[in-house]
Structure 1
Amino acid sequence: MTNAPLILVVEDDVQISRVLQTSLEGAGYRVAWAATLGAAIGEARSRQPDLVLLDLGLPDGDGLSLIPQLREFSVAPIVVLSARGREEDKIRALDLGADDFVAKPFSIGEVQARIRAGLRRQRQATYAEPIFRFGNLRVDLEGRSLRRNDEEIHLTPTEFKLLLTLIEHRGKAMTQRFLLNAVWGPQSLDQAQYLRVYMAQLRRKIEADPARPRYLKTETGVGYRFVPED
């Protein structure tokens, strides 16, 4: 257990915290707990967790304010757990630097799946390979080429840049604003049609059935999620 990933649970509801701690420890994780924003910052700085589960409704402030504070010194994935189901809250959390968002009430199975995805994405970012494979597709990140089996698939420079951004943040829910800024720059944040057009083009070139995408998933009201291991 000493080398097991450390999960910091930031949650003021003692019952929910106990359920999370019991289930996560049962799954082999180490668990730290904080019930306030102040305690969470202290725990995060001193213990350097591998992932943070963050509730937004905390007694000393909005959990959203903790996300940029954590991002000042930590790249650990942040999974928001909240009773707020509004799309605006999801988008705000993701734009601030969270990696994922799970609405309450949630199942322990879903939370554990999001934790596994976040930790896996972090490991893949740390040990990046020049070749990325998913399904029967092979992406040469350095040579900037895409092949399906032995057939090369032509991508425009913008399509490839969008694909690289999706690969870099695979498994993460990405807002439209995030993708627009990463691919087209801050001057294009209100040009959502760019993203829709190029995502449709990528789906036609990558997906077996673009109308029912396997890899390039839509996050309704938020943006997109690239799921290469689906």
Structure 2
Amino acid sequence: MKTLSVLLVEDHLPIARQVTDFLEGHGWQVDHASTGKHALMLALEHCYDVVLLDLNLPDIDGTVVCERIKSSAETNVPILMLTARDSFEEKADGFGRGADDYLTKPFDLRELVLRCQALAKRNELHQSKVLELGELRIDITQKLAWRQTQALTLTTIGFRILVQLAQAYPNPVARSVLLHQIWGDTPPDSDALKSHIYSLRSELDKPFEAPMLKTITNVGYKLDLANV
């Protein structure tokens, strides 16, 4: 059994202790946050295999925490929501904010382990060296990309941006995250990123009927396969 790194976001301490003890009993590493602010700090500083996120937090609603992690974390970490909110509308809202799975309280800790393992495995497979998203295929090792079997002529930075977007799919990638991932601690101004996005879009979208690269206002960019 693979050892997983888990961030548990839960303000009810008895539940947090119970979940932590059970997961650590499987040899997993568990960090705990009791507030949304602390959860965001940990999620953006560390790379976890899974985030277990309670929705009823004392400072920030869990759905907002979910959105912020998905838009700003360096990796596309799977998020499993743990909550007593069990209506269809509330679940739909959670999935709409970027949740990958949903477990209603009270839950069986054995089922929680199985869901965490499934999410981590799915995410690991998603980070394959060859990414295939609909008609888009990316060979990370060879640094080559195709759409509809047509080879794309990309700059080095354009290719790296495309890989970041593909690995995060279907979630958006924040501009700040792209700047840090591509240029590290010495990013250029935002116009440089816009220029590279324009060049990438010219190669990835303009020769084809439906665009894949979408701008998300006040957030960043994402790949969209809905119309492809």
TM bucket, shorter chain: 0.5 to 0.7
- Give ranges in structure 2 of 5+ residues lacking alignment: 1-6, 25-32, 80-88, 103-115
Q: CA deviation at 1:48?
A: 4.5
How far is the alpha carbon of 1:180 from its aligned partner? 0.1
- Which residue of the partner structure matches residue 65 of structure 1? 38
Q: CA distance change for structure 1 residues 80 and 166 in 2, over 3 Å: closer, same or farther?
A: farther
2-side partners of 1:40 and 1:199: how far apart?
45
Question: What secondary structure sits across from 2:50 in the alignment?
Answer: coil
Distance 1:153 1:66, change over 3 A: closer
Match of 1:55 in 2: none
CA separation in 1, counterparts of 2:205 and 2:131? 16
Which one of the candidate residues 179, 198, 201 is aligned to 1:200?
198
Give deviations 1:76-115, integer Å, cap 9, x for gaps: 14669655999xx9668854679699xxxx7421313533
Secondary structure of residue in 2 paired with 1:142: coil
Match of 2:177, SS state, is: helix
Preserved contact between residue 172 and residue 221 of structure 2 (Cα < 8 Å): yes
Separation of aligned partners in 2, 1:138 and 1:74: 26
Identity score, percent: 16
Please give the root-mean-square deviation of Cα atoms over the aligned residues, in Å.
4.6
Residue 217 of structure 2 aligns to which amino acid in structure 1? Answer: T
- Which residue of structure 2 aligns with residue 115 of structure 1? 99
| Structure 2 counterpart of 1:217, from 210, 214, 217 | 214
CA distance in 2, matches of 1:80, 1:204: 41
Q: What's the counterpart of residue 23 of structure 1?
A: none
- Report SS of the residue matched to 1:186: coil
CA distance, structure 2, for counterparts of residue 39 and residue 69 of structure 1? 21
Residues 137, 149 of structure 1: 8 Å contact kept: yes
Q: Which residue does 1:76 correspond to in 2?
A: 50
Do the aligned residues in 2 keep the contact of 1:136 with 1:148 (CA within 8 Å)?
yes
4+ residue segments displaced more than 6 Å: 117-121, 209-212
CA positional deviation for 1:63? 1.3
